[in-house]
Amino acid sequence: METPNESIRRPKAFTTIVLGGAAVATLDIANAIVFWHLYRGTPPRMIFQSVAAGIFGRESFSGGVTTASIGALLHCLIAFSIASVWYLGCRAVPALNRRPVIFGMAYGALVYLVMNRIVIPLSNANQAAFNPAWFAANFGGHLVLVGLPVALIGYWSSHRAH
C-alpha cells in the first residue's frame, strides 16, 4: 500500500529535461514544418530562420544556413527550457505529476500563451497577421505536442524502476 508521499512521485531531472526537451523540440518543429509546407510550400530552412528572427529580425531570412542553424539551436534551448520549467513545477507542486494528461495539456496552453503573448511580441520577429489555420495547428500542437509529451515523460520517469 502506498503512503500519501509515495503516491505522488517526483520525476527524475535528467530524464524529464533531456528526453522531454528532445521530444518537445522534435514534435513542435515538426508541427511547424509540416503545417507550413502543406499550407504554403515553405521549406524547413525558413521555419528555423523564423525562430532566429526573434534575435535578428527580417535579416535572418537572408542569413542562409547560419541563421537556420542559430534558429535550430534557439528552438532547442526553448524546448529544453520548457521541459526544465515542467520539472521544476513538479518539484514545487508534486500533484502535477498525478494527472499528466490534464496538467500537461494545460501546461501546453500556458506555454502557447507565454510564447505568443510575451516572448514573440518582445522579440525582433515581425508579428504575422492572424491565421486561423495556423492558430488551430499551433495551439493544438502546444497542447498535444509540447505540454503532453513533457508531462508524460515526467510521469514515466517518476514511476520507472530504479
Kindly report, residue by residue over 51-104, the tens digit of the pLDDT.
Answer: 999 999 999 999 999 999 999 999 999 999 999 999 999 999 999 999 999 999
Q: Return the residue matching grid coordinates 486561423.
A: 132
Kindly report, residue by residue over 68-82, the tens digit of the pLDDT.
Answer: 999 999 999 999 999
User: How far, in Å, CA of 74 to CA of 42, rounded?
Assistant: 20
Q: Residue 10's CB: how many other CB atoms inside 10 A?
A: 14
User: How far, in Å, CA of 69 to CA of 66, rounded?
Assistant: 5
Q: Looking at 11-15, 26-30, 107-111, which range is the least confident one? A: 11-15
- Look at residues 153, 131, 158 and name the one whose alpha carbon lies nearest to residue 17: 153
- Domain spans of the chain? 11-159
User: How far, in Å, CA of 122 to CA of 55, rounded?
Assistant: 10
Q: Residue 58's CB: how many other CB atoms inside 10 A?
A: 11
User: How far, in Å, CA of 50 to CA of 21, rounded?
Assistant: 20
The mean pLDDT value for 97-125 works out to: 97
- Tell which wins on pLDDT, 22 or 3: 22
